[in-house]
């Protein structure tokens, strides 16, 4: 799929959103108040607050009489399509799909309302690959064309003087592949490496002997970069600010629980992965994944602006003005009331 195809698909979804909004308001009742909240998230440890929030009924408890419906996605572009088509109201997602959604909707489809996770992504390769130049002629996977890890890999390779394109050509062949298939592909020898998030990162290392060639945290000041944050459909936020604030209360509580009860949170997240997919992570992979992640409601805005510049630089995003993408007022009200530091949506593209 070419960058133009991505843009056309998103534009089609945006048009569908406009049509759907005229016909219905998703979880809204006839009086305009939401009776349910439709939540999206990924079956990844990078979405641990979502996994724990659903598994331990933290979100349901905060929502009260507002029912919670959930949908899981493999990667960000699919979640953005669902948000555009009015299939979900709020979703946990990576930075680049959120940027793409903001760009394609001209700032009308979504807002970022909180941070979730930092870290936990890297390029892992076969043991015999020792340098970036050894990647020439190799096949490297990412979870989906245009997703956060895909942009990170393409940008890093370009900085190293290696070319790529969206059809798998260039000095390094990038093959967008679902996370579950990346594990199989690497194990069979069809892939030489992958830029992936946890827990797939730790699985490739511990189960298949892959090694880290580039940890993404090395590319960001202080090693901090947004891996997952929380976005809301703008129309839902405008019509249901109280419902969004209730969910944010649950989100803050889930992040606090994960940070204050790491072992119990890991167990709960693993139990939810078992419920979603029929399989759970091995203890060593679970522990390694959690140790590689930081959970925070701070959206780490500077890295978002940097990610946008990176996507523009590799031709996956037209120049975009991100002014207004953050809507952190409700979150900061909750943080202030709890005596916690407020967070900022300011940043630069450096």
pLDDT for position 116: 98
pLDDT for position 148: 86
Alpha carbons 243 and 66: distance in angstroms, whole number: 8
Alpha carbons 38 and 115: distance in angstroms, whole number: 19
pLDDT for position 1: 39
Alpha carbons 231 and 214: distance in angstroms, whole number: 28
Short-list 210, 219, 223, 211, CA closest to 154: 219
Pair 112, 229: CB distance under 8 Å:
yes
Alpha carbons 252 and 64: distance in angstroms, whole number: 16
Pair 97, 80: CB distance under 8 Å:
yes
Q: What residue spans in the chain does CATH classification 3.40.190.10 cover?
A: 3-120+224-337, 122-223
Helix (H/G/I), strand (E/B), else coil: 327: coil
What values do phi and psi take at 118, rounded to 5? Answer: -125, 145
**How many residues comprise the chain?**
350
Pair 246, 252: CB distance under 8 Å:
no
Pair 131, 111: CB distance under 8 Å:
no
What's the Rg (C-alpha) of the chain? Answer: 19
3-120+224-337 CATH choice from 3.40.190.10, 3.40.1190.20, 3.30.70.20, 1.10.3720.10: 3.40.190.10
Give Cα 114 distance to the centre of its chain.
12
What values do phi and psi take at 157, rounded to 5? Answer: -60, -40
Fold (topology level) of 122-223:
D-Maltodextrin-Binding Protein; domain 2 (3.40.190)
pLDDT for position 123: 98
Alpha carbons 108 and 234: distance in angstroms, whole number: 7
Helical packing angle, 329-337 and 241-260, nearest 10°? 50
Residue entry with tokens 């050894």? 134
Alpha carbons 242 and 255: distance in angstroms, whole number: 20
> Beta strands of the chain (E only): which ranges?
36-41, 67-72, 90-93, 110-119, 121-125, 139-142, 173-176, 193-197, 211-215, 226-233, 293-295
What is the secondary structure of 77-107 as a DSSP string? HHHHHHHHTTS-SEEEE-HHHHHHHHHHTTT
Alpha carbons 229 and 222: distance in angstroms, whole number: 19
- Residue 328 CA: distances (Å) to CA of 114, 185, 247: 7, 40, 13
Count of H-run helices and E-run strands, the chain: 14, 11
Full pLDDT tens readout for the chain, 350 residues: 334 344 434 443 444 433 333 333 445 443 458 899 999 999 889 999 999 999 999 999 999 999 999 999 987 888 999 999 999 999 999 998 899 999 999 999 999 999 999 999 999 999 999 999 999 999 999 988 988 899 999 999 999 999 999 999 999 999 999 888 999 999 999 999 999 999 899 999 999 999 999 999 999 989 999 999 999 999 999 999 999 999 999 999 999 999 999 999 999 999 999 999 888 999 999 999 999 999 999 999 999 999 999 999 999 989 999 999 999 999 999 999 999 999 999 875 43
CB atoms within 10 A of CB 230: 26
pLDDT for position 87: 97
Instruction: Find out whether the peptide bond into 199 is cis, omega within 30 degrees of 0.
Output: yes
């Amino acid at each position: 799929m070419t960058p133009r195809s991505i843009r056309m698909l998103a534009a089609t979804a945006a048009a569908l959103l406009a049509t759907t909004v005229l016909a219905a308001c998703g979880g809204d009742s006839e009086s305009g108040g939401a009776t349910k909240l439709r939540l999206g998230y990924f079956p990844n440890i990078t979405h641990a607050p979502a996994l724990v929030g659903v598994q331990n009924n933290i979100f349901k408890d905060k929502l009260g009489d507002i029912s919670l419906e959930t949908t899981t996605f493999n990667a960000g572009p699919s979640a953005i399509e669902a948000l555009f088509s009015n299939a979900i109201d709020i979703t946990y997602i990576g930075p680049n799909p959120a940027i793409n959604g903001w760009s394609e909707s001209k700032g009308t489809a979504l807002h970022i309302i909180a941070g979730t996770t930092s870290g936990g992504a890297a390029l892992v390769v076969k043991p015999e690959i020792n340098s970036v130049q050894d990647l020439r002629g190799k096949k490297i996977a990412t979870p989906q064309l245009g997703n956060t890890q895909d942009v990170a890999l393409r940008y890093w390779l370009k900085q190293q003087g290696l070319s790529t394109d969206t059809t798998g050509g260039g000095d390094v062949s990038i093959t967008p592949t679902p996370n579950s298939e990346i594990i199989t592909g690497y194990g069979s020898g069809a892939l030489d490496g992958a830029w992936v998030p946890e827990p797939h990162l730790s699985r490739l290392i511990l189960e298949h002997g892959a090694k880290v060639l580039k940890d993404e945290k090395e590319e960001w000041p202080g090693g901090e970069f947004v891996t997952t944050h929380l976005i809301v459909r703008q129309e839902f936020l405008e019509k249901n600010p109280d419902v969004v604030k209730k969910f944010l209360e649950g989100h803050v509580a889930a992040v606090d629980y994960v940070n204050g009860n790491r072992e119990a949170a890991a167990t709960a997240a693993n139990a939810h992965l078992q419920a979603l997919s029929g399989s759970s992570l091995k203890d060593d992979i679970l522990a390694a994944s959690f140790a590689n992640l930081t959970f925070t409601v701070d959206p780490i805005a500077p890295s978002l602006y940097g990610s946008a510049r990176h996507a523009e630089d590799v031709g996956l995003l037209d120049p975009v003005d991100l002014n207004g993408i953050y809507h952190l007022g409700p979150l900061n009200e909750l943080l202030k009331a709890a005596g916690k530091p407020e967070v900022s949506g300011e940043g630069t593209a450096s």
